[in-house]
Amino acid sequence: MDNAKIAERLEHLAALLEFQGANPFRLKAYRNGADSIRASSIPVAKALAENQDLTTWVGVGSSVAEKCRELVDTGSLAQIDQLEQEIPPTVLDLLRVPNLGPKKAAALFKELGIKDLDQLKLACEQQKVRALKGFGAKTEQAILEGVLIAAQANQRMRINDADKVVRALQEHLTKFEVLERHEFAGSYRRGKETVGDIDILAVTSDPAGLMEHFATFPDMSSVLARGETKMSIRLDTGFQVDLRIVPAVSFGAALQYFTGSLTHNVELRHRAKARQLKINEWGVFRVGSEAELANDPQREGWVAGRDEADVYAAVGLPWIDPRLREMRDEFQWADANQLPRLLQTSDIRGDLHMHTTASDGENSLEEMVAAARQRGLDYIAITDHSQRVSVAGGLTPERLLRQWDEIDRLNERLAGEFLVLKSIECDILEDGRMDLPDDVLAQADWVMASVHFGIKQTRDEITQRILGAIEHPSVSAISHPTGRLINRRPAYEVDIPAVIEHAAKHRKILELNSSPKRLDLDDLHVRMARMAGVPIVISTDAHAVAQLENLRFGVQQAQRGGLSAQHVINTRSWDGIKSWLAGNATL
């Protein structure tokens, strides 16, 4: 059993226990262990075979280590088997409903027999939920609205979860010896924040053999369909994966076709038609030719299709990065030979949003620094929560100043080889004030202002809070500006165009939070900021060293917004960022 599967089982156990109302610290232990195991380059099975002590791994305690041993030895967990006899798997979908915690979900299951989202929706519509103790009509209506979000979460997987599936599939497929070429297509390749299914295109001289190998994927639950060139499977999670086997001569055309988006492809085919050409998944053909009439790349009249770049070149265009293929500006840029050099993860020089054990992080200051240095960064900002976020151990002014003293001493030891900024993620209070005194904030190198509370306020109230924070002389950036949680909670009501306009006026920065559950700002808002000349800071909001890896998801979102390195402030040195904030530099 590989690390990804072990981590998934630990997370599933935590979900089951959460439904039963288990101790939150116990749940956190399992989830921390899952994060650590998933991020580890050392296979758990190998470590155990060598009699390594897993409790020496960061985030892995004795209970998690025992569960790992059981999973490696038996392939399952007896505790999960027992819990699943008591709790139907579909009941866990109730936990996806915003603001419906495990206690209320358990009450719905035990008192009304609700086992899935459809039953929950029906119970709300029949006004049965409001009759339960602790619910009421207002809660019932909120649950009904939240069911729609939860249902969407069942249909589309967050990009990081899809990425785990792709990595596992990649490892499995490459074990097939006669796999000549393959790519993952669809919305995953375009870098969308959620993915509906996975499309794989492959070239092989042994289609039947590849399909047989595909059917042995460990996480497969069933084969949905199988033909001569296409096979669809369903995973244990319910997620669908489609494998299409295409001839080598058509691989580029098929990759372009199945990558999408639909509107991008419609425009490409319109341009082909104007040149008396036809584009489909088999290639580019001259209209009326033998190849086009027979849909056969081997006949006269076939123009291109072996490689994706050739498909675009056939209609007079340069290759367009998949992350831009949403029918926004990509064709205008291509026509003008102005396609941007999209931002790369290697362009990022610092991470300006992360947490330590001083608030709700899982690793110490020193551990976060070591992990950031290992990733090749030049600087980081330690942005623990301010005091309003008491549930996360938010810092009082006194605790914050002590942390900054510790950072000063650490920087002395680093001797210029790496820089740790004295920073804070400071809440914007419901009345618009900042959560810490001005004289404290004035001592910070970097201040991120955030909305965590009062998210049910009106659009004008929340917007005015953020605009006021932008005007504050010590605030450097607004973090996760819309407050959304993908597949969990919609954005709060806020006028983002007004926020962007105000940021441009007051020379402030907006965050693209790389946490896959946030990716906030989204790609459209990032594009809007780009057009307004407002720089973006891409940061991980890491609460553990393993989460520093999430930077790549933020970079991918930035690419979808058309950002180059020049549009992202933390591609610069810290001196360069300070110069921009002071008005002495341009984008």
Tens of pLDDT, residues 448-483: 999 999 999 999 999 999 999 999 999 999 999 999
Rounded Cα–Cα distance for residues 258 and 199 (Å): 8
Q: Tell whether 149 and 165 lie within a shared domain.
A: no
Q: Which of 456, 461, 463, 459 is nearest to 478 (CA)?
A: 463
User: Same domain, yes or no, for 56 and 126?
Assistant: yes
Mean of pLDDT values over 67-85: 91
165 and 275 share one domain: no
The C-alpha atoms of residue 262 and residue 269 are separated, in whole angstroms, by: 11
Q: Are residues 427 and 565 in the same domain?
A: yes
Mean pLDDT of the chain: 93
- Among residues 155, 181, 215, which one ends one of the domains? 155
CA distances from 376 to 151, 208, 348, 542 (A): 40, 44, 9, 16
235 confidence band (pLDDT: 50, 70, 90): confident
How many angstroms separate the CA atoms of 385 and 394, rounded? 5
Classify burial at 85, counting beta carbons within 10 Å of its beta carbon; exposed 0-12, middle 13-18, buried 19 or more: exposed
DSSP 12: H
pLDDT at res. 562 = 97
* CATH number of the domain enclosing 510: 3.20.20.140
378 Cβ partners below 8 Å, 6+ apart?
349, 350, 418, 419, 573, 574
Pairwise CA distance, residues 539 & 561, whole Å: 16
Give the pLDDT confidence score for residue 147 in this predicted structure: 85
In a domain, 256, yes or no: no
pLDDT reported for residue 5: 83
Question: Do 85 and 27 sit in the same domain of this protein?
Answer: yes
Q: Which of the listed residues 155, 175, 207 is the one where a domain comes to its end?
A: 155
Q: What is the mean pLDDT of residues 228-257?
A: 93
Dihedral of the alpha carbons of 289, 291, 297, 303, in degrees to the nearest 10: 10
Helix then strand then coil, % of the chain, to nearest 5: 50, 15, 35
Measured in degrees and rounded to the nearest 5, phi and psi for residue 579 equal -65, -40
- Both 431 and 517 in one domain: the answer is yes
Q: Residue 92: what pLDDT?
A: 78
Q: Which domain holds residue 298?
A: 263-335
Question: Three-state DSSP class for 181?
Answer: strand
Residue 254 in any domain: the answer is no
**Are the C-beta atoms of 157 and 517 separated by less than 8 Å?**
no
CB 239 within 8 A of CB 224: no
CATH assignment of the domain containing 309: 3.30.210.10
- Based on the fold, state whether residues 325 and 417 are members of the same structural domain: no
Residue 441 lies in a domain: yes
Percent of residues, the chain, with pLDDT higher than 70: 99
Q: pLDDT band at 190, cuts 50/70/90?
A: very high
Q: DSSP string spanning 61-100?
A: -HHHHHHHHHHHHHSS-HHHHHHHHHS-GGGGGGGGSTT-
Strand partners, 423: 446
CATH code of 195's domain: 3.30.460.10
> What residue spans of 132-222 are helical by DSSP H?
137-155, 159-173, 186-189, 207-214
The answer to whether the beta carbons of residues 435 and 387 sit under 8 Å apart is yes
- Report if residue 340 sits inside a domain: no
Residues 231 and 366 in one domain: no
**Which of the listed residues 110, 125, 155 is the one where a domain comes to its end?**
155
Asked if residue 285 belongs to a domain, the reply is yes
* CA dihedral (75, 80, 85, 90) positive or negative: negative
The pTM is what?
0.80
- Do 216 and 198 meet the contact criterion of CB atoms below 8 Å apart? no
Do 100 and 186 share a domain, yes or no?
no
pLDDT, position 153: 57
* 1-5, 305-309, 525-529: segment of lowest average pLDDT: 1-5
Count the Cβ atoms, other than its own, within 10 Å of residue 456: 9
Per the structure block, which two tokens stand in for 57? 């791994």
Q: Are residues 359 and 459 in the same domain?
A: yes
- pLDDT tens-digit series, residues 46-68: 999 999 999 998 789 999 999 99
Query: Coil, helix or strand for 571?
Result: helix
Which residues does 460 contact at the CB level (< 8 Å), separation at least 6?
495
Give the start-end residues of each E strand in 249-402: 277-280, 283-286, 302-304, 350-351, 379-382
Q: CA–CA separation, 280 vs 265, rounded Å?
A: 9
Quick check: 566 and 532 in contact, CB under 8 A?
no
Which tokens go with 415? 């001797």
Which band of pLDDT confidence, cut at 50, 70 and 90, is reported for residue 370?
very high
- Cα–Cα distance measured from residue 15 to residue 26, given in angstroms and rounded to the nearest whole number: 11
In a domain, 102, yes or no: yes
Q: What is the CATH number of the domain that holds 121?
A: 1.10.150.20
CA distance linking residue 461 with residue 440, whole number of Å = 26
* Residue 434 within any structural domain of the chain: yes
Number of domains in the chain: 4
pLDDT, tens digit, 9 for 90 and up, residues 153-186: 567 889 999 999 999 999 999 999 999 999 999 9
Residue 312 in any domain: the answer is yes
Beta bridge partners, 421, equal 381
- Both 370 and 516 in one domain: the answer is yes
User: Is there a single domain that holds both residue 352 and residue 495?
Assistant: yes
* Contact of 195 with 187, CB cutoff 8 Å: yes
Amino acid 403 reads Q
pLDDT tens-digit series, residues 313-363: 999 999 999 999 999 999 999 999 999 999 999 999 999 999 999 999 999
Distance, CA of 249 to chain centre: 34
| Residue whose pair of structure tokens reads 């997987």 in the numeric block | 157
* DSSP track, 341-356: ----GGG--EE--B--
Q: Are 123 and 129 in contact (CB under 8 A)?
A: yes
Closest among 536, 480, 527 to 503, alpha carbons compared: 536
